[in-house]
Amino acid sequence: MDVVELIKSFILGIIQGITEWLPISSTGHMILFNSFLPLDSSRYSGGVEFIELFMTVIQFGSILAVILLFWGKLNPFSKSKSSLERRDTFALWIKVLIGSIPAAIIGLVFKNQIHKYLYNGLIVAFMLILYGIFFILVENRNSCIKPRISMLNKLDYKTAFLIGIFQALALVPGTSRSGATILGALLIGCSRYIGAEFSFFLAIPTMLGASVLEICSYFKHYGVGFSHNEWGVLLIGFVVAFIVSIFAISLLMKFIKSHSFKSFAWYRILIGIIVVIMFMTGFLNMSATI
C-alpha cells in the first residue's frame, strides 16, 4: 500500500464531501490541492484515466449521502405516506428529471470542447469571483423580497426546468453545480432552504449519470482489475466523501435557516483571488487543471 497516495485520497474525499454541496466550487479546490499534492498517475495502471475514475467514485459517495439524508422525502413507496404525499413524491422526481435535461444535453454534446477550452485555472478563478459577486447582489436584492416558493410541493415544472438551465451553467468549471442551481433558485423566487434542497436532488440523476458513463468508459478500456493500492485509494476516497458529505449537507441546511449565502460568496471571491495570485507568482500554470 502506498501510504502517501492513501493520505491524498483521504484529503480529496474531505474536499469533495465539503465543496460538492457548499456553493464554493469543488473544481476550484481540486485545482488548488493538485497544484501542491496531486495524485501520482504513474502509480496507477490506468494512469490519468484512473485519477478521473477516482474523482468519479468519490462523487458517488457524495450522491449516496444525499439519498440517505433525504430518503424520507425521495421515497415514493413509503408506507408512512398518504396517497397525496406519494403523488407529490412522484411529481418531485419528474421535476428533478426535467431539471436535469439541460445539463445532460449540453454536457453530452459539448463535453470535449468544455474540457479542452474551459478546464483551466484562469477560468476557474474568474468564475469563482464572478459568482461570488452574483451571490452578494442576489442576496442584497432578496433581503427585501419574500420568497415566492417556500415549500417543495409549490415548486412547479417550469421552475424546475429553469433551475436546470442554471445547473447547465455549472458545466463551466469554477461555477459550482450547487452554487449555480441555488443562485438560479433564489433569482426565480425560491427560499434559500428550498433552493438548496432542490439543488441536492438535481445532483442525483446528473452526477449519477455522469458517474456511470465515466466508470463504464474506464472499465471498457482497462477492465475491472485493480491492485490493492488502487482499491485502497478508491475505497478511502469514497467512504470519506460519503461521511463528510453527510455532515456538510446537514450543517448547510441548518446554517441557511438563519443565514444568507454571503459568507460563501466572500469565500469564493477570496479563493478566486488566491488562484489568480498563484498564477501571477508562478505557483500555477495558466493551463492548470484537475
pLDDT 10s digits, 42-62 = 888 888 888 888 888 898 899
Q: What is the pLDDT along the chain (290 residues), one digit of tens a residue?
A: 689 999 999 999 999 999 999 999 887 788 778 777 888 888 888 888 888 888 888 988 999 999 999 999 999 999 999 999 999 999 999 999 999 999 999 988 998 898 888 887 788 899 999 999 999 999 999 998 999 999 999 999 999 999 999 999 999 989 999 999 999 999 999 999 999 999 999 999 988 887 788 778 777 777 767 888 888 999 999 999 999 999 999 999 999 999 999 999 999 999 999 888 888 887 776 555 54
Handedness of CA 114, 116, 118, 124 (dihedral sign): positive
Give the pTM.
Answer: 0.90
Go through 15-46 and write b for each residue having 16 or more CB atoms within 10 A of its CB, e for each that does not: bbbbbbbbbbbbbbbbbbbbeeeebeeebbeb
Neighbours of 274 (CB within 10 A): 16
The C-alpha atoms of residue 161 and residue 99 are separated, in whole angstroms, by: 4
DSSP assignment letter at 75: -
